[in-house]
Amino acid sequence: MRRMEPISLETAIASFTARWSPRIVTTVNDYDVRVAKVEGEHVWHVHDHTDEFFLVLTGELHIGLREPAGERTVVLPRGSVFTVPRGTEHKPYARVPTEILLFEPTGTLTVGDRHEDVPRHVDATTGHTLT
């Protein structure tokens, strides 16, 4: 879905209220540019074949990582970016309402290729079309 007009991220984010339910703003080559509102915990999951890029637009995002050296958490304040390498088990969470932008290959499931049980507040989706 490529739009031929400028897209206001502020307007895009204001168009929905659901948490952990990303909207596809546009595409770049074979990647979706998604925005999401997040608060609370996501789910531990792994993307086996792709990295996952996060940009924090508002709020603060925490990402728990399970790496060979052990478990750690990265904290992303507003304006920060972070890429979770493919194959790394991770769990995003936000203590305050937070808005994020993600780059993921089109068709990538929000809960990855392997994951824990998905709680009701997490939308296991490949992204929803922005309306």
CATH number at residue 23: 2.60.120.10
Q: Is residue 18 part of a domain?
A: yes
Structure pTM? 0.92
Q: Is residue 128 part of a domain?
A: no
Residue 3 pLDDT: 66
Q: Is residue 4 part of a domain?
A: no
Residue 112 pLDDT: 80
Residue 103 pLDDT: 93
Q: Is residue 114 part of a domain?
A: yes
| Number of structural domains found in the chain | 1
* Structural domain harbouring 53: 9-118
Is the separation of the CB atoms in 37 and 98 below 8 Å?
yes
- Tell me how far apart the alpha carbons of residues 109 and 124 are, in angstroms, rounded to a whole number: 7
- Pick left, alpha or beta for residue 30 (phi over 0 → left; psi -120 to 50 → alpha; otherwise beta): alpha
Q: Is residue 107 part of a domain?
A: yes
Residue 114 pLDDT: 83
- Tell me how far apart the alpha carbons of residues 115 and 100 are, in angstroms, rounded to a whole number: 21
Q: Within a 10 A sphere around the Cβ of 44, how many other Cβ atoms?
A: 17
Is the separation of the CB atoms in 99 and 19 below 8 Å?
no
Residue 1 pLDDT: 57
- Per-residue pLDDT 10s for the chain (131 aa) are 566 789 999 999 999 999 999 999 999 999 999 999 999 999 999 999 999 999 999 999 999 999 999 999 999 999 999 999 999 999 999 999 999 999 999 999 888 888 878 878 887 888 888 87
Q: Is residue 130 part of a domain?
A: no
- Tell me how far apart the alpha carbons of residues 8 and 105 are, in angstroms, rounded to a whole number: 22
